[in-house]
Amino acid sequence: MALWEYKVAYVDFRGRISTEGSEFIRQPGEHRTAFVRRYLDVLGQESWEVAAVQPLRYETSYFVLKRPAKAAKKEG
């Protein structure tokens, strides 16, 4: 059975993404889609992939991301 690690990101397409206390801010002049793509590119380099998107109101969504969990260390 595959084990997964999850991350939830609050995405405000107007210019801010918040994940577990970390903020990702849109750069001046940056298009909204380019801003979100830049964020996803960073997470993709860390093996995260989008598993689901839950649209909210007013240009915001929750993105649920997942990646394979690292094998637990065997105690012994």
Cα torsion angle, 14, 55, 48, 22, sign: positive
Instruction: Quick: pLDDT tens for 11-23.
Output: 999 999 999 989 9
> How many CB atoms within 10 Å of residue 54?
11
Look at residue 35 and give its three-state secondary structure: helix
Q: Whole-model pTM?
A: 0.82
For the chain, the domains span 4-68
Q: What pLDDT, on the 0 to 100 scale, is given for residue 2?
A: 82
**Residue for token pair 């993105």:** 63
